[in-house]
Structure 1
């Protein structure tokens, strides 16, 4: 009985031996493959130097895409809070300057101008005007009388003008002076009525229209220019009445007072 059990055990071991040897050989082959892979794998270089970092360049904040501006609030809903450099509300203006008539083909007319204004607000004001003028004949006028025998006594030219205007100042802006200085300015229009005294001594009712600019040099002083257009009817030496108009170009300086107090 014992002999039969021993014989069976030996037989079983004999049958299992090839499988064990195969498993052992397969495991040895896997170990060899792993060793070969470890030999061929690249190894990281070991250095003693500290890692280097590249400093990021500052981000460019220049705006180049303006496509989104269409979605902004309308300009009429944006309030400008900057105060005017030369406020006018409740202040007086005295002006003095020189003028000339630019549209008279027969006479050269020059003179001085004085203006006095008071501003009810930044947009509205009233103004008094006085023009004192002197006139001389142009060369063409003398030639018409002396060479061609054409009488020029019936031509009318102004000796002075005095009147009152209502001023409207709708535009306030700024301009650059040769990229050196920013100069604020007001653009105004005015209309009124007055009297033109002619060389014949007549006082003719006159409609006065004007437009110009006031350039603020300080809180009290400004450079001013304007075009003034006078329309009137007057009698010549022969007694006939005709329509005349004079276009004046005036330049000068303004003084504003009292001292400006910002709102």
Structure 2
């Protein structure tokens, strides 16, 4: 009789432990359920496997982008609007393309230099002592990209819910159209980029990315070739098809 009671108690404990383990979700779980499972069998180390919130195998992600450029020509500042398309091979790798259109304006220093040059040209049109500064700026760029997503996590926004995210690294190469205020109105240059970011998955389709990239390209001035190294900080909002 004692053997039967002991068997029933052991069977009940194992069944309860298995049920609690099934109730644990795969992305953090309920802490109370986790503690119950641990208490039922303290000798077993329980681990939670963090599955990704959105299945990103063989799916296409399209997004709009706004970005700011840091560095480049000292007399110019650039902001971009753009479009991104990514094909997700699996949750860890994707390939894609990025197009940005540059919105440029002179810095306060550049504006002052142009004003002084214009005033000097009025005073001494034959032989001005102050020349207009040459400004070279990015008009547009088209890049091919490869992205790697090594780490997944989640953030709680209280009553608003939980946002799942991936950290990722990106690398790419493409072409940039450069504009100028000189007679050489525009030219093309090869551009390489390397960066990192966070991709937030806010639902089954809505995506948001916060990204920072370094870009390298060459700009041809009158008397020299300047190697430009700029930083690009961007916010992207998109949709997974």
Q: Same fold (TM over 0.5)?
A: yes
Q: Name the structure 2 match of 1:127.
A: 96
Tell me how far 1:232 sits from its aligned partner. 0.5
Q: Name the structure 2 match of 1:152.
A: 133
Tell me how far 1:178 sits from its aligned partner. 4.5
Tell me how far 1:181 sits from its aligned partner. 2.1
The reply on whether 1:233 has 2:218 as its aligned counterpart is: yes
Q: Name the structure 2 match of 1:116.
A: 85
Q: Which whole-Å CA distance do the structure 2 matches of 1:253 and 1:121 have between them?
A: 20
What is the DSSP-based 3-state SS (H/G/I as helix, E as strand, rest coil) of the residue aligned with 2:212? strand
**CA RMSD, aligned part only?**
2.3
Considering only CA atoms, is the larger Rg found in Structure 1 or Structure 2?
A: 1
Tell me how far 1:152 sits from its aligned partner. 2.1
Tell me how far 1:151 sits from its aligned partner. 4.2
Q: Which whole-Å CA distance do the structure 2 matches of 1:223 and 1:191 have between them?
A: 19
Structure 1: runs of 5 or more not aligned:
1-62, 64-70, 258-263
Q: 1:93 aligns with which of 50, 61, 70?
A: 61
Q: Name the structure 2 match of 1:215.
A: 200
Give the TM-score, by structure 2 length: 0.68
Change (3 A) 1:252 1:139: same
Tell me how far 1:163 sits from its aligned partner. 1.0
Aligned 1:73-84 pairs, distance under 5 A: 78=47, 80=49, 82-84=50-52
Q: Which whole-Å CA distance do the structure 1 matches of 2:197 and 2:67 have between them?
A: 13
What is the DSSP-based 3-state SS (H/G/I as helix, E as strand, rest coil) of the residue aligned with 1:157? strand
Q: Name the structure 2 match of 1:244.
A: 228
Q: 1:164 aligns with which of 128, 131, 144?
A: 144
Tell me how far 1:111 sits from its aligned partner. 2.3
The reply on whether 1:136 has 2:105 as its aligned counterpart is: yes
Q: Which whole-Å CA distance do the structure 1 matches of 2:140 and 2:44 have between them?
A: 54
What is the DSSP-based 3-state SS (H/G/I as helix, E as strand, rest coil) of the residue aligned with 1:146? helix
Aligned 1:17-96 pairs, distance under 5 A: 78=47, 80=49, 82-96=50-64
Tell me how far 1:179 sits from its aligned partner. 6.1
Give the TM-score, by structure 1 length: 0.63
Aligned length in residues: 182
Change (3 A) 1:145 1:121: same
Q: Which has the higher strand share?
A: 2
